[in-house]
Structure formats: structure tokens, C-alpha cells
Structure 1
């Protein structure tokens, strides 16, 4: 039996303590001092007592979830008590006294996987949902937490198993074993195309999951740090009139209209004999080259991923706004910042996949589907039925690892270690 605080750390208005495993309902009976459990999935007010001396700990809402129709697939319960540190500590100590142990990170979700309640793609989506900071990240995680990729993967695997059966039957019964089953090649090609289409969404999904990157570059004293502070609406970078103040890259996380973005304040670009500043400039150039968008304070080429920014328009007299590939702003007075933010929100939304959220959302999923696709291409090109059957078997194994039907123990540990305690 395991338990964990599944809500935020105290103090809080309410704390949720989850319990799961065989014998949990007996523990609930002892804690509440009654043999009568609440009806399944119905919250009822109960007094929570300390085992042994029956001292009152708190009055709390108690729910039970009989297995296998629970999140973990086991008998589970939740105690919704007051969220003070003292109450939470007392309930946790009562659980320890009754023989429950603290859950490890991701253990509830791992038990759900092991009991067939979810597959690995849904587990990864739940981890992404917990970590989601923006609307686009939430939408993408919710789609796969509902089993979209799982449903497709199961259909693909069924098709693969049928193809394997056809090819192997041809091995057993065909008069000419060197000739592949005529109907197999179009079916393999069609399945490969479906998987290739799903894979095409992976780069965009990664951008949603990890966020876009916007680098702010330019010469010293161009106002880069001031612009970063203004866009972040808080003081995150040191601003001084001394050239070379920014040495290392400062990262600021922004929500641009529901899209996660990381804003990078970089070192001023100039010739310098200072080895520390030289390293800062080298890093600035490298991060700018890899960024999705560069805000260039100063002269710059009119490139697709670069927006020239003219700062300090309070002294130049330029009207604020974004026009002809250039943003005119004043980080000091705020002039033009709203127009720049609106431009960045529009740009960020344009980078997202259109229509349905992407299916393939992690490097692990993309790798396994790429591997599956490669084996299918081999099977499509192979004319000998024995070799074709082997390629189809390898493709089916890769798809099995995608959902967790076939997976090594160490990979499961790596996936579920991403979860927080209590999930």
C-alpha cells in the first residue's frame, strides 16, 4: 500500500492525500473509526482519528475508488483534509502507522500502466499535462492523455499482425516461395504512409512541448536587457550604462497568447579582449543561430526569422509600432511595446500546428515510429517472404514498445521518474 500528498505543499485551503493498494479500505475504516465506507466515488464527511489512541486529527472528506475501476486499477482512496502543515503531517503519520509507505515519483501512474488502465503514450501525456504552463501545451497533452495515439498505434499493430499472418501463410502454402504475397505490398505501403503522416507532426509538437526561443541580440548598450525586462514585466536582467554588463545568457519564460516561449538576453556583440566577455559573445551567437526568432537591436538583415528592433524611440522621435519588418519601441517609456507583444503573439501562434493537436509529442515516440517506418520500408522493398516477415516482425516490436506492450524495465523507470510525488 502506498500514500502521498497529491495536492500542493501546505499551507493550503485543502490537502488531498491519496492511498492505493490492497488493504487500503481497511486502513480507511481504522482512520475514520467506522466499518461503513462511503459509497464509491462519493465524498462524505468523516472524522479522521490517530490509530492507537483515536485522537481526532481533522474532519475531512473521504472518497473510495474500488479497483479495477480506479486510476491505478487497485482499491484507492482520497482524504481531503484541511491543508495546514500540522494536519497533513498527522494524517501522513497515521498512514505510516497503518503500514502504508510513501509513494515514489510517478508510482500511482506506473501502477495504472502496469494494471492496464493506461499505456505509455498516455502516461507521457499525463506528465506533459502536469508540466503544462500554456494553453497550447495543455491542449496537446490532453489530446494524447485521452488515448488518441494509443488508439492509432493499436490499429497499426493489428494491421501489422494481419500482414505478418498473410506473409507467413504464404511461406507455408504458396507454390512459389520466392514471390511475395501480391496484396501485401500495397497494404504495407499504405500503413507506412499513415505512420509517416503522423511522424510529420513531431517537430511542431516538440515546439509546443518545449516552447519557442526568441533571442535578443545587438551591440552593447542597445537596450537589450531593458527590452527583456519590459517584455517580461519584471526585473530579470541587470541594466547599467556599463558596456558588457551581460556576460552569460539570461533566460525568461513567457506565455505569448497561450504559446510557451523562452526569451534570451544575450551578451552585447562587439570586439573584446576580455576572455569572459568573448565566451559570452560566442554563446550569444550560437544561441541566436539556433533560435526560432531573433530580435535584433541594431542593423540586421531582413531575414524570415529576424525582426529588427529600434529601441529608445523616446530620443529618436520615431513613431511606435511594427512596420516593414522593424519594431519601433521604447523600453524606458513603454511606447510600442504593446504592438511588439501583439506581433510576437501572432508570430508564435503561426508556428503551431493547425487543426488537431499533434500526435507524436516526445523524442521517444518519434524514435520508435521512425524505427517502425524504416522496417516497413524494408518489408515493402523485400521480395523474399522470409525476410519480409522478419521486417514486419521488427516493425510490430517497435510499435509494441511505443505503447508499452514490449518495453525494458529501465525504460519504464526513466519515464515514470519524470512524475511528481503523488502522481
Structure 2
């Protein structure tokens, strides 16, 4: 993959004004640029307080300047950082000055990370993890993204790829070097047990895909129930602001509204929905249709009612997933006992039962506090390629009667599918593995 020879630059520290602004540069003209605008190149990885001048020698600002020689930099190229004052005029002047220099241009979106990938500093999973780390809003999202950005998920996939390469090497050894004394007969048969184990490892890994999606994209909780059950009031109470209109008129909510909460470090997306009832109002019917669709896609449904004798099962007869039956307006009840079939009683007026409700919702969140690593697949392309790899390994295991060459081809396809996840789809040098294993040609 060709790497551009342009030296790129960009503001990397976010919106202005700010106390400090960081301008990042990457490319072959980094050293020359620092000599031109700062007078010298600082010692590698040592911050130096230097002036930043324009082409005419006018000092635009003074700040900390760092230089990271390639390939030991983020992008794998020579890179530099100018830590200057974060005023809009100052940053604009510095960026304009850089854009006027020969061989420099403003970076495109994501171009620093793209160069890091092209130069082998990061793979695709790590790049995606870095993007998620920047966008993370909850602790669990941060942990998941940090795991991916640090390369832990990639290391798992690389270990699987090595097992596939080893298995193919053993097959090639039997096919091509069977007459060598160092290669025992039927050596390929010793690798199928490991391939069966690898198949199960991928199956177990894919089982965590649901958890990975919840951590990264959020846990969807739908508030459902008849009109005037207190759905919008509950949404507003948990959001601590007025998201939904609350009136005594049935059918006020006609669309699906949502708010994002941080619960136990997880992103929880709470959806308010139209009241479930029979109606001739065409707009309200559309709202109820959207409610049913939201219920079908929910991770958890909160069934709300102010009537303890309601038919809870009839509220969402087609939904078979997790649910909590919530009796609302408990402050209007003369007794304090919880009726049969009710999981939680709440009041948004007094706050009664709200802690119990949040605790109950938290009970449905994934339990990742027991030391489980967050090396989980999170994107559709991860799932698709992993499923392809799983299918090819299964085909290799079943293709015994067809011959070792067919089985080796299925394993090659499995390795290629894994390589698509990380972006490492280079041709493996199988002979290196073979010679290291058997000393062939000695």
C-alpha cells in the first residue's frame, strides 16, 4: 500500500479557544520544517521551548516543540508537535504559515491514523479502537476501546492466524517433503485436534459479540405500556430534564423519544414510546407501530402501568425477551405492598422505588467485573469475517476424504478471513515455518 510523500499537518487538540493547542505534523519534511520555523530540530522525544516563526522570520508564538523520528512514531514517519497557545488567531496564523510551505498540506480526516496503518504501526482493529476511545462516553466504552487500541484483540486474532499457518505448514511438509527423514509420516494428522480447538475458540469468541455490541453501542431499554402510565414522566425523571411532553391527555407521545444514561459504566439508551392501545387516530397508530418495532429490537423492556390488575402478558404478547413489570404512581396508593406479578413499584413524584428500578435494570447488564478481558468483537465486519473463518475451518475438518491439498486450501481461506479483520492479508512464507520445524535440507 503506497504511502503519500506529502508532509501533512493538522490541529489535533480539539476546538478553540483553549489553553494549549497542539499542531501535529507527519512526513518527510518534518525536520526541514522545524529548522525553518523554529531554527532547529529538538532532541528526539524531548520538549524544547522554541519560537514559531513565519517565512519572513516574524515570531508568531512561542511554545513547546517535540520531534519523533520515524519509524518509532505514531505514524511510522518523522512526526512533530507544536504545543502553542490556543487562541483562534494564533492557531490560524500557524496553520496558514504551514500551508504556505513547499511540500506541506493540511491533513485529511483520519490521515494520521491511516498512515499509522499503512506503515504497520497499527492494524485495522487498533485503528477502530482508537476512534472508539476518542468517542467513548462511559467507563465500559473506554475499557473496550482501550483494549482494542492497545492491540489485545489483534493479538488474539494473530495467535489464531499463527495456528492456521502452522497447520498449513504441516500439511505442506507432508505433501512436499514426505521423503525427508526429518518429516515423520502422517505429520498433518497431528494438527486436526488443534484445528478443532481453534474452531471452538472462535465459536466461544463469537458468543461474546452480543456483549461487545452492548458495551460499544449501548443497552437499549424501551419503556412501554398503556397511555398515561407514566412513561414520559419516568423518562424525564431519569434524564433530569424535560425530554417528553407530559399531559393528562392519552396519546400525547406519538413518536419514539430517547435519552442516553450512564448506568454502572454502561451506555443505556432509554426509549419513551407511544401508549399501547387500539385507536382510530392514524398518527397515533403509526406511533404504536414504531413502539412495537422498538420493543422487538430492545435488550430490555420496562412494562409500565398504574393499574396493578392489568394483564401484563397482554401488553407485549409478541415480545419474549427480558422485561420488568413496573407499577407506577405508587404515591397514590393507600397500601405499600407489592402486588403479585409486579417487579418494582415507583413514583416519579416522591422518587420512591427509583433506586430499586435502576438496580433491577443494572441486573440485566453484562457482568464484566469478574476479570474477563474486553477482547470482544464489536463491528459487523468483525462478525462477518470471523464467521467466514469459522466456516472454512469447519470445511477443512470435514474435507478429509477429499485430500490434504483441499483441506490446506480451506485453511488458507480461513487465514485470509482472519487477515481481513486486522488488515493483515499478506502472503505467508510457509517455507520459513517448515524449515524451522523440521530442519529440511540440512
Q: 1:42 maps to what in 2?
A: 46
Who is 1:18 aligned against?
A: 24
1:371 pairs, out of 388, 391, 412, with 388
CA contact (8 A) 2:251 2:284 kept: yes
Per-residue Cα deviation, 1:240-282 (whole angstroms, up to 9, x for no partner)? 2222221111111111010111000101111111111101101
Measured in 2, the distance between the counterparts of 1:40 and 1:264 equals 52
Pairing 1:141-290 to 2, within 5 Å after superposition: 141-172=145-176, 181-290=188-297
What is residue 111 of structure 1 aligned with on the other side?
115
Structure 2 matches for 1:320-335, cutoff 5 A? 325-335=342-352
Superimposed CA distance per residue, residues 289-337 of structure 1 (whole angstroms, 9 cap, x where no aligned partner): 2211111111424976111222222222454999975222222333332
TM-score when normalising by structure 1: 0.88
- Taking a change above 3 Å as real, the CA distance of residues 17 and 361 of structure 1, as seen in their structure-2 partners, is same
User: Which residue of structure 1 aligns with residue 433 of structure 2?
Assistant: none
Q: Give me the TM-score of the superposition, normalised by structure 2.
A: 0.84
**Partners of 1:171 and 1:212 in 2: how far apart?**
51
The answer to whether 1:336 aligns with 2:342 is no
How far off its partner does 1:366 sit?
A: 1.9
Q: Give 1:357 shift.
A: 1.3
C-alpha displacement at 1:339, in angstroms? 3.0
Query: What's the CA shift for 1:399?
Result: 1.7
Residue 79 of structure 2: aligned partner: 76
User: Deviations along 1:85-108, whole A, 9 cap, x unmatched?
Assistant: 112211111111124222112111
Q: Equivalents in 2 of 1:90, 1:351: separation in Å?
A: 48
Q: Which runs of 5+ in 2 are unaligned?
A: 1-6, 180-185, 315-319, 427-442
Q: Any unmatched runs of 5+ in structure 1?
A: 408-423
Alpha-carbon distance change, 212 to 378 in structure 1, aligned in 2, over 3 angstroms: same
Instruction: Please say if residues 167 and 188 of structure 2, whose CA atoms lie closer than 8 Å, have aligned partners that are also in contact.
Output: no
State whether structure 2 residue 64 is matched by structure 1 residue 57: no
Distance 1:304 1:375, change over 3 A: closer
Match in the other structure for 1:414: none
Name which of 388, 391, 396 aligns with 2:410.
391
Moved more, 379-388 or 183-192: 183-192
Point out which structure has higher relative CO (alpha carbons under 8 A, 6+ apart).
1
Structure 2 vs 1, CA of residues 319 and 130 (structure 1 numbering), >3 Å: closer, same or farther?
farther
SS at match of 1:254: strand
Change (3 A) 1:22 1:322: farther
Q: Is the 8 A contact 1:2 1:20 kept in 2?
A: yes
Partner of 2:94: 91
1:129 to 123, 130, 133: 133
Q: What's the counterpart of residue 419 of structure 1?
A: none
The equivalent residue for 1:311 is 328
Deviation, structure 1 residue 16: 1.4
| 2:376 aligned to which of 350, 356, 359 | 359
SS at match of 1:59: strand
- Aligned to 1:9, the other structure's residue is in SS state coil
1:2, CA displacement in angstroms? Answer: 0.9
Q: Which has the larger radius of gyration?
A: 2
| Structure 2 CA distance for aligned equivalents of residues 82 and 227 of structure 1 | 45
The equivalent residue for 1:412 is none
- Once the two structures are overlaid, the 10-residue window that deviates more, 19-28 or 322-331, is 322-331
Secondary structure of 1:260 counterpart: strand
Encode CA deviations 1:119-164: one digit per residue, 9 max, x unaligned. Answer: 1121121122112111111111111222112222222222222221
Partner Cα distance (1:217, 1:197) in 2 = 34
Contact 1:16/1:81 (8 A) holds in 2: yes
Q: CA deviation at 1:348?
A: 2.5
